[in-house]
Amino acid sequence: MKTIGMIGGMSWESSKIYYQHINEMVRDQLGGSHSAKSILTSVDFDEIERHSFDGNWKAIGKIMAKEAQALENAGAELIVLCTNTIHLVSDAITKATNIPFVHIAQATGEAIQEKGLKKIALLGTKFTMENDFYSKMLENDFGLEVLIPDAEDREMLQSIIYDELVKGKFTEKSKNICLGIIKKMKGLGAEGAILGCTELPILIPASDACIPTFDTTKIHSQKAVEFALS
């Protein structure tokens, strides 16, 4: 079993779900009392959030590179960045390290492809929805048509994520707003919806959505476990 290196804290609300998923998946696959060999480094999210809103992605890239190098030096054999948005600076990690990096959009694209879907909605932070680091990989590598919510709904999602979810607030009102956005995307032809913020699957149960949803936290965890056990 390879040692999984995780960069967490963005936010820790979803990082704890990563740790849970990864250990449960290893136990389920290997049986007995098996658990994952892992190393977790966790950043101060306030600093990351501040740089994000300032558009200082270079500073975030430096932080991620430093954390990734620390994981590699500690014995990690692969790296998982436990967030969607900060994959915007994933190149900083791959350039700074010599071990495999498991990209969340790549793993998500593979999961969508397995279901045979062609038109997919992407929900997440404004940084994820409005930059092309995520959608371009889905379009170029998997031939998907990616739909994003309109400007008003993007603002709504941004507010829910940063004002509530990363602070551990999960309300019925916000869940229903997100389900309404997914319903709108279905009306535009979306066959499924990517929950492209690692806190969104905590808020939105798959059973409540009108189209299939893709839990990026679980998908990413599964890909990491597959790699670790390969």
Question: Catalytic positions, please?
Answer: 83, 197
Measured CA to CA, the distance from residue 219 to residue 14 in angstroms comes to: 13
**Where are the strands (E) in the chain, listed by range?**
4-8, 38-42, 78-81, 101-102, 119-123, 145-147, 192-195, 213-215
Tokens of 101: 């990096």
Measured CA to CA, the distance from residue 108 to residue 120 in angstroms comes to: 11
Helix (H) or strand (E) holding 162: helix 151-163
Secondary structure class of 117 (helix, strand, coil): coil
Measured CA to CA, the distance from residue 63 to residue 202 in angstroms comes to: 26
Tokens of 176: 């229903």
Measured CA to CA, the distance from residue 25 to residue 133 in angstroms comes to: 28
Measured CA to CA, the distance from residue 227 to residue 222 in angstroms comes to: 9
Cis peptide before 35 (omega within 30 of 0): no
